[in-house]
Amino acid sequence: MINSLGINKPKKNTKVVVAMSGGVDSSVVAGLMKQEGYDVTGITLKLYDDAKPSKNGRQCCAGQDILDAKRVSEQLNINHEILYYQKKFKQEVIDNFIESYSSGETPIPCVQCNQTVKFRDLFKYSKNLNADALVTGHYIKRIQNNGKSYMYRAKDFSRDQSYFLFSTTQEQLDFLRFPLGDIEKTETREIAKKLNLNVAEKPDSQDICFVPNGDYSSVIKKFKPESFNPGKIIDIKGKVIGQHNGIINYTIGQRRGIKIADKDPLYVIKINNKDNTIIVGPKEALKINKIILRELNILGSKNEFKNEIKIKVRSTGKLLRAKINLNSHKAEVNILDGESGISPGQACVFYLSDETGDKVLGGGWIDKTYNKNLST
């Protein structure tokens, strides 16, 4: 008999690992799995040591979250383990964030965290436990058709996390389950209340776990102080028009902090870490029509890229029309309507709309951007 997770086993004989962050979403997933009668083990990752908590108390994988996950596990009477992955997290997420940010890119550590310690390493650990599935509290749909698993945007578009999971491999997707993909966030909290979970009203995590209170510069200053060296501000014609106080203080599309008077507002168009310069220009210079991607992860077939598809270039952004030219490790993305403020280091995720919804075809990391005035 096929159970609710699509596995041909009785629920009581189906071993599931639930990735428990200590938040309401993963706690509800653990509660639902237990309620359905599965053999549940909750696993929490300790990724970062920080004696400086966030002011709003909404960090992911912090000390309080681990305690909350443990309490929920005790309440549900399920096994609970803590994996100490601080070293892996430092090497693969924090170090990458520092290098990327200090080179003028806009990195997304949450994607890299999912790509490495959360899905790759936790996937491997779960397999070693002989688990039948790894279940998470991500808002994303997983649909199985003719024996193959597909990823779709969540029902609740405001919570959809497909952008952060574009690097999920087919092997991982086959093993993963996302029970919250078909419900709204408000429903999740209602379920938490019905299960009497003490995290039912816990705020969602917002800060990057190793960047308390969003203070990126303090993290960079600690590990790479040379990023604060002053340098030249140049206009799009190559003329030096001012000085900046460190490229780390600027991101693509930024207007505030340039402190240069001009007839029209100036925006950061390009950040060049090699010569420590910032290029500024008018708003129209931000409009990007073409991007080059590196480190692709393709979930769909190449035939699905022959025609126009949709892309996302930021987690909260809208879907954009695009034509994609794929090769072995890179992709050229032609954005049909153009989009402003796209930065190297961000992700570009591919979608194809069908009768089921918006299917995720994978994506890649933005390496270069092009507009009429210059490329970055």
Active site residues: 113, 209
Residues whose CB falls within 8 Å of the CB of residue 362, separated by 6 or more in sequence, listed in order: 166, 167, 296, 297, 298, 299, 300, 349, 350
Q: Is 222 helix (H, G, I), strand (E, B) or coil?
A: helix
Please calculate the CA angle 154-18-64 and round it to the nearest 5 degrees: 95
Query: From CA 276, how far away is CA 86, in angstroms rounded?
Result: 32
DSSP string, 231-256: EEEEETTS-EEEEES-GGG--TT--T
Closest CA to 211 of 223, 225, 226, 199: 223
How many angstroms from the chain centroid is the CA of residue 149?
20
Query: From CA 292, how far away is CA 369, in angstroms rounded?
Result: 6
DSSP string, 25-81: HHHHHHHHHHHHT-EEEEEEEE----SS--TTS-BSS-HHHHHHHHHHHHHHT-EEE
The encoded tokens of residue 46 equal 């300790």
Q: Is 301 helix (H, G, I), strand (E, B) or coil?
A: coil
DSSP string, 151-205: EEE-SSTTT--GGGGTT--HHHHHHEE-GGGGS-HHHHHHHHHHTT-TTTTPPPP
The encoded tokens of residue 290 equal 């073409």
Cβ-in-10-Å burial (0-12, 13-18, 19+) of 48 comes to: buried
How many angstroms from the chain centroid is the CA of residue 185?
18
The dihedral of CA 37, 140, 168, 357: what is its sign? positive
